[in-house]
Each structure stands twice: as structure tokens, then as C-alpha cells.
Amino acid sequence: MSALLSPSWRSFVVLLGCLQQVLSIRVGICQSGHNSSHTVGCLCASDILSCTGLGLDHVPVDIPGSAVTLDLSHNRLIHLKGGSFGGLFRLQTLRLAHNQLTTIQPGTFGNSSGGLLRHLDLSSNKLRVLEQHYFQEIPGLEELLLFNNRMVQVESGALAVLGGLRRVYLSHNRLADFPFFSVQDHSHPQLAMLDLSSNHLRKLPLEYLSNLPSRLQQGLYLHNNMLVCDCATFRMFRVWEERGFASVTDFRQDHTCRVYGMQQGTVRFFQHGGFFHQCNLTAMTAPLREQQSSVAVSAGGALLLHCATTLTGRHVTFFWVSPNQEYVAPPGNNGSLKMFANGSLEITAARVEDSGIYWCMALDQAHQRNQTQEVNVTVVPHDAIETHDSFNTGFTTLLGCVVSLLLVLMYLYLTPCRCPHCNKATPPATSGTANEAGVESGQSSILSPTPPATTEGPGRKVSTNKHVVFLEPIREQQNGRLGVGHVGPGLLLEPEQQPKQDVFLDTPLVLP
């Protein structure tokens, strides 16, 4: 039979067989060992198992142990029982979105990969309480998606075991409060994004928010809530806006607060900042306390030093030690040092002898923890400031004039020498001297302010110093903005522009 086939037909048959093998490998019907009905209909691709949209009401029991990514989204799962994912020792990504989950029993993730699981998607379900036992068996989790549930409470220890968390999405729930004290720097050193937008938050615990690390303050999304308007809250968001935090600048239109006694009830406080014109924003203590390690103040001026710490609670006490080894506690000493209960130290009238290292300690007696901080204070005398300022002003003005004059003289007189006895320029090269013409064109391209024209010909392309990158397919809508789309076969970028590669998005998710 093969002898009767022409070479072209034989090639076609071989190609068809290879294509069939490739399709059977890349998209196959998942069956574990024997003909089991539990995973029939699931699609296998290498170590990825997808069982989406199959109407499953329980987790299949014969999932291959080699699965690294398991997708059970868009099914009818209501409960997750203990040991549902046992034997999946390589599992790193688990997607359970768009189900009807109401309960996660203890031990659900037991005997699974545990520390290897990095991404868990429980979004678009019916969970009401984030209980403490949910994530005990998966301490290595880095990204947790819980948006679009019916959550009204997050237990204080629910996220305690997840010390490696980087991103948590809790938007579009019904949370009236959140245990901010459970996600401090000492417990979650890598947490950089917490999305609590579109909830029912009313009063923010500014004491705990002020002690969050700066990276988490930048990634704390609180828009579209039911916050009560007050000066302290307005001051906090205003400071975040001044520092350019994306959580505020990207959602200025969505930051609102509720005003009692007003007919409309809500105010977009970034658009109507005049509502807070009676707030003494300059005199009030900023809710975000950050302290530089070295500060300077003029003699006779006042200086406020903050004892920045992550320790919080009523059991935390503060004290300072001045450069002359003086112990300072509230309310301060009888001299120029005044101390407040929140740990801040004020130098009311700075003197030259007040310069030196100020040492602060925060002590949590309940948990037997303490933190220290050093601040180098320099008090500059008035005469030194005046002399220094006048010298700087006069000297910089004079120096600017001299430099400008030198540049003009160099431009006018330091041109290439034109010798009277030099040989005259050679006539332009003919078409036969190709090499010489190439040299001259190279020189002219160096001296010319504009790049030389480049002619195109067969097999030749114009060099534009641009990069061609292939973009990813269009992602789902997040934060009300579309992800990067695929524009044709490629996108021609401007010079020196680098392609972006996103592994995880550090912005909150919004429902489709």
C-alpha cells in the first residue's frame, strides 16, 4: 500500500499522525489508572488539570498526584471536606472560583503540598466567615483571592499562619471591620497588597494603620467603603495622596465618606476637600508616623521626633534617652523636652547642646517584646545659617555666570583650526570610489545634527533601534481597567522601552 502512495501523500499521512499524537498529549481525557468516572471530562496538559464547568458537586477523588495546577472553578461545590486534596504533593496553584462554597472543614488541605501551594483562588463563592482553621496546612501561600463572597468577619488568627503572604484580595464583601493588628511587619514581612475596597468599613483604626509598614500602606485599598467623615481619616488619605500612593491616586473618584445630617449622605472628599476646612490639619498629629534617622533644626526652633514602631496595644510603653544620657518619659522633663503618651518627643526650643543621638525604646510588656530606634539631631546656630545661606546664594550666582561665559567663549573661539596653508578639500568622490564615500558619509553622520537618510533596498531594513515585543492576550478586567491586550502579531515600541512582564498583579480585583 505504501508503494502505491506518492511521496506527497506519504508526507501528508505522516504529518497527520504526528498531529494526532500532539493533540492527544496536549489535550487528553484525564483518567487515573483505571476507567474512573470521577475525572472524566477534565482536560490534562502536562501537569495542569482543568475540570471547569462540569457541574461537579464534590472534589474528584482520583486526581493525578503529579498535578501542579488544579482548576475546579465554575462548578457546584458547596463544602470542602477534610483531606479533599490529599496526595497532591506537587500542587502549587488551586482555583476554586465561581462555586457555591459555604464551608471549609478543618484539614481540607491536609496531606497536600502544604508549603508548596502558592496561589489559592476562592473568589466568587458564598463564604461568610474567614475562620482561623482554613489555612493551617498551607503556610507557604503567597496570593489569596477571596473577593466577591458574602464575608462579614475575618477572624483575628485567620491569616496568622500565612507568614509568606504577598497579596490578599478581599474586595466586594460585607466586612464592617478588619483585624489590622494581625498583619503587622513582624508577622507578615512580605505583605505588600491588601484590597479591602467595596466593603462596609465604617471606622478605621488609625493607630494600627499608622504602624503598618510603608510598603503595605502603599498597597492598602480602602475605596468604596462607608467610612465616617472625620479630620483624622481625611488627614491620613491626604498624606497618602501627597506621597503618591497608587491606592489613592488611582481611585481618587471612588474615595467617599458618610456625613450624618446631610441629605445626600456621602462626600467624595478628594473633590470636596472644603468640607474639612475647619480641620486643623497642620497642628494635628499625622496618623502616619515616619522618622528619618538624621534631622536638623535651627536654634530656638521646635522639633518633633516620632518613636516609629510596629508594636501596638495598650500594653506598649515608650521612653527616650537624650544625648546626655537623660531618661525621658511622659510628660517629659522640666527643660526643653516634652514627651507624649504615643511615644513622640518634642524639643520645644532647640539649643546647640541638644545636638546628638536620641535613643527611643518601645516595650510591649504583655508579649515581652521591644523595639529601639536612633535619631541623630543636629541643631544649627542662627549665625551659621545666615552665613551659609548668603554664601550659597552669592557663590552659586557668580559660579553660574562664570560657567555661562566660559561656554560662550568655547563656542566662539574653540572651533577647529583653519590653516591658510592647508590643502584644499578634495573633490567629491565619484561613484567608483565606494569605500571613500562610505568614510565621508560616516564622518558627516557624526557631525550632522540629524541622522543620515537610509535607503532601503532588497534584503535591507532601516535600523530604528526599536524593540519588538509580543504582548500577552487580553486579561480580565481589574480595578475597572483592562489588562494588556494582544495587538496584532507584535507591537513596535519606542527606543529604549522595555517590555513589561507581570507575574502577579499588585492591584485590587473588580468583578467582571
Max CA distance (Å), the chain: 111
Range in 63-72, 117-126, 165-174, 181-190 with the lowest mean pLDDT:
181-190
**268 near 248, Cβ under 8 Å?**
no
Distances (CA, A) of 166 to 70, 144, 288: 21, 9, 22
Q: Going by DSSP bridges, is the β-strand pair 227-228/256-258 parallel, antiparallel, or unpaired? A: parallel
Residue 502 or 63, more confident: 63
Domain positions in the chain: 28-276, 294-383
- Three cell numbers, residue 196: 479591602
Q: Is CATH 3.40.630.30 correct for 294-383?
A: no
- CATH 3.40.50.300 assigned to domain 28-276? The reply is no
Q: What H or E segment, with its residue span, contains residue 238?
A: helix 231-242
CA distance 116 to 85: 13
- The larger pLDDT score, comparing residue 236 to residue 269, is at 236
Range of 160-174, 259-273, 347-361, 483-497 with top mean pLDDT = 160-174
Q: Phi then psi for 307, rounded to 5 degrees?
A: -90, 80
- Mean pLDDT (whole number) for 180-195: 90
With 0-12 / 13-18 / 19 or more C-beta atoms within 10 angstroms meaning exposed / middle / buried, residue 462 is exposed
> Which pTM was predicted?
0.55
Query: Which residue in the block uniquely carries the three cell numbers 550632522?
Result: 448
- Residue 301 CA to residue 433 CA, distance in Å, equals 78
Amino acid 142: pLDDT: 95
Cα separation values, 292 from 211, 305, 338, 479, Å: 15, 9, 19, 34
Residue 479 has pLDDT above 50, yes or no: no
What does DSSP assign to residue 424? Answer: P
What CA–CA distance (Å, rounded) separates 166 from 168?
A: 7
Residue 210 · residue 289 · CB < 8 Å? yes
For range 221-226, the mean pLDDT: 93
Q: Distance between CA 323 and CA 19 in Å, rounded?
A: 79
Whole-number pLDDT of residue 143: 97
The pLDDT > 90 percentage for the chain reads 27
What's the rounded mean pLDDT across residues 105-133? 92
From the number of C-beta atoms within 10 Å of its C-beta (0-12, 13-18, 19+), residue 16 rates as exposed
Q: What is the pLDDT of residues 406-447, one digit of tens each?
A: 888 887 777 665 555 555 555 554 444 444 444 443 333 333
